[in-house]
């Protein structure tokens, strides 16, 4: 049976990890209502740049940390020295990257952005990059709380981040109407505060002494994950960089707002995955085998179920909600595509078990191969499909790439991931069925809200029946590891 403590901690991890998403959703109507379409699109690119540099600054240490922690968690002194080496390396690397951007940033920005899109390196580009540095330090430090199983502290840190981001950003937008000063400086100030808060929280877990061997270990094991994260960013943002050349600012603003809403699903997916990843890793560590058996399948099947339910509810709630709070109709035009995009995110959930297996095996180069292939294909396909089909072309490519990621993940992990007793209908069948239903609805009965409601209810009833065992209980592997 499910332990109450497991449910409580899982909720704290899931909700805590979703709070940045919640902040993004809350800020969207302020961005859309207080900025014109041109400034809104510019801000979107600045936020994307900040997220990209956050990846550069963190070097994906927060992703590899869980694997390292499982190996040395019983040696407190070694763990503190490793933490110290990690943060010192990140600080030195961060300063180096910022100095490089000061030299080359303006030149690169001028190449990427033309006069149609008002995105410049000074001052907003540089400030966005510094914000990425602060957020990287925050993300790495907060990842420790997951593996230390400090659910309440993890939740509290995310609450601080949520409140500071909302307060400073909204205050700045109201103070400087239709100006980028508010959101850019608001995010920057929030970054300083959350780094200071997290330092106070984690300082007792760190021995501030740099040990080269620990730094080299993190860099050696993290660089494939880092490259993987960069490729993920390209996968999620490349369409906007192509679309800006083929559609007008109003259509780009509407599409971008819809895709910003889908950040919510991404954060919920990541939050749900965080709720189970330590349990899966501990089980595989005990069994000395990376396998999908009756125990792990309960976690994986429940994860896929949760993603489908989230996607269905998301499609029903978001369009009327956005129309209610954002008055300008240019932001409503892309909602006709919402179910197709949601189906892609449901397919994305299938790749998580393979991701866990590759990450635990420490064969992170496999992720690099998978996303290198898919990113190259996406860039080529995006150019041609967006050029000739515009918005729907971007959506076609997005769905195809998510299917390709699952196929390649299966191919590259089959030598390490033993898929014992996997119910293919639960892993693959229901998500594909959801894609088929939403595709038929879009092409045969476009923008039919009644039909959307009917098939959404039917899908939820179907998955409640198919996954009834997973929803009724979880394996006994829910006790906190000693």
Identify whether 47 is part of a domain.
yes
pLDDT the model gives residue 471: 60
- Pair (243, 152) in one structural domain: no
- Pair (196, 284) in one structural domain: no
- Pair (170, 257) in one structural domain: no
Last residue of a domain, one of 160, 180, 210: 210
- Pair (289, 388) in one structural domain: yes
Identify whether 3 is part of a domain.
no
Identify whether 362 is part of a domain.
yes
Strand partners, 418: 291
pLDDT the model gives residue 481: 46
Neighbours of 104 (CB within 10 A): 10
- Pair (80, 182) in one structural domain: yes
- Using alpha carbons, select from 154, 156, 163, 155 the residue that is nearest to residue 190: 163
Q: What are phi and psi of 418, to 5 degrees?
A: -90, 110
Place of tokens 């965080």: 274
- Pair (194, 313) in one structural domain: no
For 317, the domain range is: 224-473
The tokens describing 351, both together, are 């790749």
Place of tokens 């009834």: 468
The model carries a pTM of 0.80
pLDDT tens sequence across 349-387: 999 999 999 988 888 788 889 989 999 999 999 999 999
- Pair (239, 146) in one structural domain: no
Residue 82: strand, helix, or coil? helix
- Using alpha carbons, select from 336, 298, 285, 292 the residue that is nearest to residue 315: 336
- Pair (170, 59) in one structural domain: yes
Angle (CA) 106 20 146, round 5°: 110
- Pair (134, 33) in one structural domain: yes
Distance CA 38, CA 330 (A): 12
Last residue of a domain, one of 210, 234, 264: 210
- Pair (248, 200) in one structural domain: no
pLDDT the model gives residue 100: 97
- Using alpha carbons, select from 86, 82, 22 the residue that is nearest to residue 60: 86
pLDDT the model gives residue 52: 95
Distance CA 33, CA 407 (A): 41
What are the CA-CA distances from residue 184 to residues 170, 248, 386 (Å)?
A: 11, 24, 30
Q: Are 37 and 250 in contact (CB under 8 A)?
A: yes
Neighbours of 361 (CB within 10 A): 16
Number of folded domains that form the chain: 2
Identify whether 195 is part of a domain.
yes
> Given its phi and psi angles, is residue 114 left (phi above 0), alpha (psi -120 to 50 degrees) or beta?
beta
- Pair (60, 110) in one structural domain: yes
Identify whether 5 is part of a domain.
no
What are the CA-CA distances from residue 375 to residues 84, 87, 262, 364, 427 (Å)?
A: 34, 30, 20, 17, 24
Place of tokens 């690119």: 45
Q: What are phi and psi of 291, to 5 degrees?
A: -145, 155
The helix (H) or strand (E) run that includes residue 147 is helix 126-147
DSSP string, 208-266: ----HHHHHHHHHHHHHHHHHHHHHHHHHHHHHHHHTTTS-HHHHHHHHHHHHHHHHHH
Identify whether 242 is part of a domain.
yes
- Pair (127, 254) in one structural domain: no
Q: What is the mean pLDDT of each run of 10 residues along the chain (482 residues)?
A: 58 76 85 92 95 92 75 78 84 94 95 86 96 93 80 88 93 90 94 91 81 69 82 89 90 92 80 78 84 82 86 88 87 88 92 90 85 94 93 94 94 86 81 88 75 79 75 49 44
Identify whether 380 is part of a domain.
yes
Identify whether 107 is part of a domain.
yes
Last residue of a domain, one of 210, 232, 258: 210
């Amino acid at each position: 049976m499910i332990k109450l403590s497991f449910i409580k901690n899982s909720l704290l991890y899931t909700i805590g990890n979703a709070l940045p998403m919640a902040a993004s959703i809350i800020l969207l109507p302020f961005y859309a209502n207080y900025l014109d379409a041109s400034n809104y699109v510019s801000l979107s690119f600045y936020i994307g740049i900040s997220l990209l540099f956050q990846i550069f600054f963190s070097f994906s240490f927060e992703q590899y940390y869980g694997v390292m922690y499982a190996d040395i968690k019983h040696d407190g002194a070694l763990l503190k020295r490793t933490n110290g080496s990690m943060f010192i390396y990140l600080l030195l690397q961060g300063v180096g990257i910022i100095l490089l951007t000061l030299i080359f940033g303006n030149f690169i920005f001028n190449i990427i952005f033309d006069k149609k899109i008002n995105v410049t390196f000074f001052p907003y580009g540089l400030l966005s990059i510094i914000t990425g540095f602060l957020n990287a330090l925050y993300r790495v430090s907060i990842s420790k709380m997951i593996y230390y199983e400090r659910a309440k502290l993890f939740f509290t840190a995310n609450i601080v981040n949520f409140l500071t981001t909302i307060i400073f950003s909204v205050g700045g937008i109201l103070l400087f109407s239709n100006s980028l000063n508010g959101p850019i400086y608001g995010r920057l100030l929030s970054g300083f505060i959350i780094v200071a808060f997290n330092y106070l929280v984690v300082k007792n877990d760190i021995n501030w002494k740099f040990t080269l061997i620990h730094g080299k270990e993190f860099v050696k094991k993290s660089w494939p994950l880092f490259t993987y994260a960069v490729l993920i960013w390209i996968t999620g943002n490349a369409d906007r960089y192509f679309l800006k050349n083929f559609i007008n600012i109003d259509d780009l603003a509407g599409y971008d707002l819809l895709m910003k809403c889908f950040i919510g699903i991404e954060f919920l997916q990541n939050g749900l995955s965080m709720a189970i990843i330590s349990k899966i890793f501990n089980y595989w560590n005990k069994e000395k085998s990376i396998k999908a058996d009756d125990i792990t399948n309960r976690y994986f099947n429940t994860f896929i179920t949760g993603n489908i339910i989230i996607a269905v509810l998301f499609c029903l709630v978001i369009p009327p909600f956005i129309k209610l709070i954002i008055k300008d109709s240019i932001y409503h035009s892309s909602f006709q595509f919402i179910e197709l995009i949601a189906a892609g995110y449901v397919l994305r959930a299938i790749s998580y078990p393979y991701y866990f297996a590759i990450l635990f095996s420490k064969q992170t180069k496999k992720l690099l191969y998978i996303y290198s292939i898919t990113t190259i294909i996406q860039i080529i396909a995006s150019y041609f499909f967006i050029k000739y089909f515009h918005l729907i072309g971007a959506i076609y490519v997005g769905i195809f790439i998510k299917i390709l990621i699952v196929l390649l993940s299966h191919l590259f992990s089959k030598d390490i991931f033993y898929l014992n007793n996997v119910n293919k209908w639960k892993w693959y069948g229901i998500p594909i069925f959801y894609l088929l239903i939403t595709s038929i609805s879009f092409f045969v009965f476009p923008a039919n809200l009644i039909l959307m409601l009917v098939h959404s209810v039917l899908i939820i009833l179907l998955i409640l029946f198919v996954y009834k065992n997973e929803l009724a209980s979880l394996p006994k592997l829910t006790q906190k590891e000693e």
